[in-house]
């Protein structure tokens, strides 16, 4: 009868019964909960509720903020490295209004900042505003 069962956030149980999904209150007086208890007694287990992992938040830094955070010397070092990049990447980098951690070039920006200034300073430069 029961195929599987799992607790939900609110403590009720979502169960698959003969290819149908049913929400069962965790109340032993409920007729479906009684049947579920029998299913458990037969060696089955209700899966615990596990919250969905939070998606990593996206860091978004206004381009002007990144440049304001840098010293003149740091800015010149970044500019020198960026001049070695292909044209498309340079154009994206120089015309961007924001730098976002979900963008394809974020790892490049992290790498450049870390290689030039170390992990701590790169973290300061690339921190959420």
CA atoms within 13 A on the CB side of 24: 26
pLDDT per position as a tens digit, 82-98: 999 999 999 999 999 99
CA–CA gap between residue 125 and residue 119 (Å, rounded): 10
Closest CA to 104 of 122, 81, 86, 117: 86
Q: 84 Cβ partners below 8 Å, 6+ apart?
A: none
Query: What letter would DSSP give residue 47?
Result: B
pLDDT tens track, the chain, 129 positions: 788 999 999 999 999 888 888 899 999 999 999 999 999 999 999 999 998 888 778 999 999 999 999 999 999 999 999 999 999 999 999 999 999 999 999 999 999 999 999 999 999 999 998
Task: Give pLDDT, residue 52.
Answer: 82
């Amino acid at each position: 009868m029961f195929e599987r069962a799992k607790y939900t956030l609110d403590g009720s149980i979502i169960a698959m019964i003969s290819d149908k999904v049913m929400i069962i209150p965790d109340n032993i007086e409920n007729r479906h909960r009684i049947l579920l208890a029998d299913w458990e007694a037969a060696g089955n287990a209700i899966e615990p509720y596990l919250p969905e992992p939070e998606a990593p938040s996206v860091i978004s830094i206004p381009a002007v903020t990144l440049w304001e955070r840098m010293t003149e010397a740091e800015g010149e070092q970044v500019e020198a490295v960026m001049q070695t990049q292909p044209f498309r990447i340079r154009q994206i980098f120089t015309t961007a209004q924001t730098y976002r951690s979900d963008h394809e070039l974020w790892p490049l920006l992290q790498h450049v900042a870390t290689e030039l200034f170390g992990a701590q300073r790169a973290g300061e430069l690339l921190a959420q505003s």
